[in-house]
Chain A
Amino acid sequence: MPAKATRDAFGEALLKMGERFPNVVAMDADLSKSTKSELFAKKFPNRFFEFGIAEANMVGTAAGLGLSGKVPFACSFACFISSRFDQVRISVAYSKANVRLVGSHAGIAIGEDGYSQQGLEDLALMRSLPGMAIIQPADDLETEGAVEFLCTYQGPAYLRTTRQKVERVNREGYRFEFGKAVELRPGGKDAVIFASGGELYLSLKAAELLERDGLSVGVINIHTIKPLDTAAVLNAAGRTKILVTAEDHQIIGGLGSAVSEAVAEAGLGHRLLRIGLKDTFGESGSPEQVLAKHKMDAAGIAEQIRERFR
């Protein structure tokens, strides 16, 4: 199976669900070609709303649609959705509007466009809102499962997709289960990596590299960042030396924080390693270059874990 960006998988899934769920509508703020909502727009022009470059208005309008029986998918870059935090906070979350906020172009792996277009704080912001479900699929199969799930889920939700192609990590026939961590690489006597989104296949590769060094590393897919599968986290904590999180996001506030909080609150005092952007801004460069520079590619993930065993 060739690698596919989860934004592409999202666009295709939304198109498919549009047939099945007449209440599904979509909207975009001049990025439909990038978020891939354009596939839905072409097929269902009467159920698609183009807002131009005005995300606050789009998010608020999505709330009104969601409060009136529609299931709106409001799409833009992750950074532009989350930066309309006041609208997400009051019109969507506090109103408990049935809105699906879709943030594409997650993280530094978008590459050349640089920091202003990179969603790097969106998970932190969304996690802070009561009742906001957060899903970050790792491949095309999981994206389709998540989109299907969101067509009938009740409540506000945030879906985070990648610009870059990602390799498939799940098997054909995979069933998405909201809130349930998936063990993709069993074992992990030495380390267990909780990975999400675009960092997942890179973490699997890192685990293979580490195996050659004699380290046993397991990988668990956290596609649902909120609510977190705390049981899976604590279970792994009980059987490994280092808990690792890997995400294309600031290490503050996202998956790394979620896992740290769960472990600390359980009083485990466990060793932790948070892989992601380490309290610094993103930058331009090819996706491969920026991921390598910030030690978020397979080699970089492996290196950071290996260092802990020196």
Chain B
Amino acid sequence: MAVAQRVASSTQIWRLKEIAARMRIDIIEMLAKAGSGHPGGSLSAIDILVCLYFSQMRYDSKRPDWPDRDRFVLSKGHAVPAQYAVMAEAGYFPRQELMTLRQLNSRLQGHPVNTALPGIEACTGALGQGLSVAQGMALASKLEGDKFHVYCMIGDGESQEGQIWEASMSAPKFKLDTLTVILDNNNGQIDGHVTEVMNLAPIADKWRAFNWNVLEIDGHDMQQILDALAQAKATKGKPTLIWARTVKGKGVSFMEDQIAWHGTAPNAEQAAKALAELRAADARLQKERP
């Protein structure tokens, strides 16, 4: 289904782009400091996360256990540096804590841990599981009269897990219009391109065949992301899957679509090069301020 056009103000779009540009810098700095982690999938996901946290979702970062909050479950948990970056920006914790990523006793575990960090909704990262958990939250919302909306991000590589398809069967059965799934389709996984390791194409057709409302977007176009999220929330009677075509490593030229950057942190030199690119991009954006 085509995404209905709703024109967000140019100021709003610029603001989201500006946040995303800074978040990309945070991601690289965090990973370089940690010395390990997953840049590729964090950079492909970040524009969508920025739209969720700074436009779409209803939450209070000072009250992470507010029962009526919208939920976000990052099923592809290895991209959690992207979520930590937006959570710090949203005020869940001080920004300097980002530099504790993956360190002993840090709340910022290598994959998301709800019992460690308030604002994380569930433990994920064992791939294939987060969508079912999000579905449970969306069911709870239905039982409470649609009190909140649940967003879940899955990966295309992750969609090789059978549990994803178990959940894809059940959410339409339960008429879960309280659930929106975003498929971060970056075509990368550890052993190669998804299309080669275990091809899922035509993936949107599969979700349509399982009776989902499917929206197709460019996962780096803020306007398209906002429109799709709004349309998903307005859709009644069935869950929505937003098929977001993305670029792994987006924003850092030498990481883009390079499989090697799935799960390798940049060394000091590589980080400096990446940060120079990202800061230049941010500086260009600052000049375009509406």
Kindly provide the distance from the CB of B57 to the nearest chain A CB, expressed in whole angstroms: 16
Q: Is the beta-carbon distance between A64 and B167 smaller than 8 angstroms?
A: no
Q: Dominant SS at the B interface?
A: helix
Q: Is the beta-carbon distance between B166 and A57 smaller than 8 angstroms?
A: yes
* CB-CB under 8 A for A91 and B129, given A68-B137, A69-B67, A70-B140: yes
Q: Footprint of A on B, CB under 8 Å? A: 67, 71, 73, 113-115, 121-126, 128-141, 143, 162-163, 166-167, 169-170, 174
Kindly provide the distance from the CB of A61 to the nearest chain B CB, expressed in whole angstroms: 4
Q: Is the beta-carbon distance between B140 and A63 smaller than 8 angstroms?
A: no
| New A-B pairs, 6, CB < 8 Å, besides A57-B135, A64-B133, A64-B138 | A57-B166, A59-B132, A60-B136, A67-B137, A69-B67, A90-B123
Q: How large is the interface on A (under 10, 10 to 19, 20 to 34, 35 or more residues)?
A: 20 to 34
Kindly provide the distance from the CB of B182 to the nearest chain A CB, expressed in whole angstroms: 17
Does residue A62 face the partner (Cβ distance < 8 Å to B)?
A: yes
Question: Which residues of the other chain, B, contact A47 by a CB distance below 8 angstroms?
Answer: 143
Quick one: which of B71, B138, B166 has the most chain A CB within 10 A? B166
16 contacts between A and B (CB under 8 A): A47-B143, A52-B170, A56-B132, A56-B163, A57-B166, A57-B167, A60-B136, A61-B167, A63-B122, A64-B73, A67-B136, A68-B71, A87-B132, A90-B123, A94-B113, A96-B115
Instruction: Give the complex CA separation of A97 and B123 in angstroms.
Output: 10
Which residues of A14-72 have CB atoms within 8 Å of chain B's CB atoms?
25, 46-47, 49, 51-52, 54, 56-70, 72
- Top 8 closest pairs, chain A to chain B, by CB: A64-B136, A60-B132, A68-B140, A57-B166, A54-B166, A61-B136, A65-B136, A64-B133
* CB-CB under 8 A for A63 and B170, given A25-B143, A86-B129: no
Question: Which residues of the other chain, B, contact A90 by a CB distance below 8 angstroms?
Answer: 123-126, 129
Q: Is the beta-carbon distance between B132 and A64 smaller than 8 angstroms?
A: yes
Kindly provide the distance from the CB of A117 to the nearest chain B CB, expressed in whole angstroms: 20
Does residue A95 face the partner (Cβ distance < 8 Å to B)?
A: yes
Q: Is the beta-carbon distance between B114 and A91 smaller than 8 angstroms?
A: no
Instruction: Give the complex CA separation of A56 and B162 in angstroms.
Output: 9
